[in-house]
Structure 1
């Protein structure tokens, strides 16, 4: 039950615009092909394994 409450808090604070800006910045810095869609699912998929963040 606590994780459901936490998820709602995260979703309430999530900004697709800021996520898209972050992905665009990562693409510019790394030169990698990054999907800049700021949807929460895409943001998670792009960053979940940590490889892109390490580059």
Structure 2
């Protein structure tokens, strides 16, 4: 499992998130993150995800 940082490079007023997941995929208007069993860990509207960093 990898640690994902979302919007870490953006301005302070943009919400930032950090969590663990195995993969992510675009699904319509959403960017969804999944664990090894393909259960959804987190989902964001695609227009709110400015950068994704995998640690």
| Higher fraction of helix | 1
> RCO greater where, 1 or 2, for CA within 8 Å and sep 6 or more?
2
TM bin, normalised by shorter chain, reads 0.3 to 0.5
| Higher fraction of strand | 2
| Structure whose alpha-carbon radius of gyration is higher | 1
